[in-house]
Amino acid sequence: MNTTILIIEDDTGLRTALADNLRNEGFAVLTEQNGQSGLERARAASPDLIVLDLMLPGLDGLSVCRLLRKESNLPIIMISARGMEMDKITGLETGADDYVVKPFGMGELVARVKAALRRRQPEPNAHHITLLRINDLQIDLIGRRVFLDGNELHLTQKEFNLLVELVRNQGVVLSRDLLMTQVWGDDYVGGNHTVDVHIRWLREKIEANPSEPVRITTIRGIGYRFEQ
């Protein structure tokens, strides 16, 4: 029996082109044009893989992905015009197995479809990390608590979010504006000096010597890095 792929895409041109190309590759193809009908078709037809557009009318791609993920671990490849790293992270954290940014070529999509089919059995709970541990620093993501050498630290909400963002990107230099956007949100209106102030407060709590920090280092003119 052929491997069945369900395409959920609202744009007729793209849906047809995708379907034709995947059929040429030897897959059986089902198509749906909105989130709700896609979800129902996925439940009824049990395809081997879903190609899911992120921006769909009504029930959007992220919601479809979240709902399906609760029910099964069938591979989902999300396609989207939104190519920012944040969008990809959101897509992947929602449970998508892969994220392909438009425009893409057929070769790339087919390669990703095949790779996702090979890894059909994802590790259980791979997407649900609840505890981060970096040497003597421990972060409980669910309880939003931080411990240093076993002693609980009292962090404000912003300090906690800032720390988690830095730790999740351990070894990566994050620009001030990026931290601003991630922690204070896209809508924040104002300068990025706020980041410096909160980094200072955070250092006072987690560094042995806040004036000579070893955990959160400053990369002059660019931003901050949580050292590995």
Which parts of this chain interact with another protein (CB under 8 A)? 11, 13-14, 17-18, 20-21, 24, 55, 81-85, 102-107, 156, 169, 171-178, 180-181, 184, 186-191, 193-194, 197, 201, 219-223
Taking the complex as a whole, how short is the minimal distance between the CB of residue 165 and another protein, in angstroms? Answer: 11
Taking the complex as a whole, how short is the minimal distance between the CB of residue 24 and another protein, in angstroms? Answer: 5
Peptide bond into 124 cis (omega under 30): no
Q: How are beta strands 137-140 and 131-134 bridged, if at all? A: antiparallel
Nearer residue to another protein within complex by CB, 55 or 69: 55
Taking the complex as a whole, how short is the minimal distance between the CB of residue 140 and another protein, in angstroms? Answer: 23
Taking the complex as a whole, how short is the minimal distance between the CB of residue 181 and another protein, in angstroms? Answer: 6
Task: Tell me how far apart the alpha carbons of residues 87 and 185 are, in angstroms, rounded to a whole number.
Answer: 14
Nearer residue to another protein within complex by CB, 40 or 108: 108
- DSSP, collapsed to helix, strand or coil, labels residue 49 as strand
Nearer residue to another protein within complex by CB, 143 or 171: 171
* 18 neighbors 7 (Cβ within 8 angstroms): yes
Taking the complex as a whole, how short is the minimal distance between the CB of residue 81 and another protein, in angstroms? Answer: 4
Nearer residue to another protein within complex by CB, 154 or 220: 220
The alpha carbon torsion through 31, 34, 37, 42 (nearest 10 deg) reads 50
Nearer residue to another protein within complex by CB, 84 or 214: 84
The alpha carbon torsion through 14, 20, 23, 24 (nearest 10 deg) reads -120
Task: Tell me how far apart the alpha carbons of residues 79 and 44 are, in angstroms, rounded to a whole number.
Answer: 22
Taking the complex as a whole, how short is the minimal distance between the CB of residue 27 and another protein, in angstroms? Answer: 14
What six digits make up the tokens of 126?
A: 């791979």
Task: Tell me how far apart the alpha carbons of residues 84 and 158 are, in angstroms, rounded to a whole number.
Answer: 23
Nearer residue to another protein within complex by CB, 2 or 12: 12
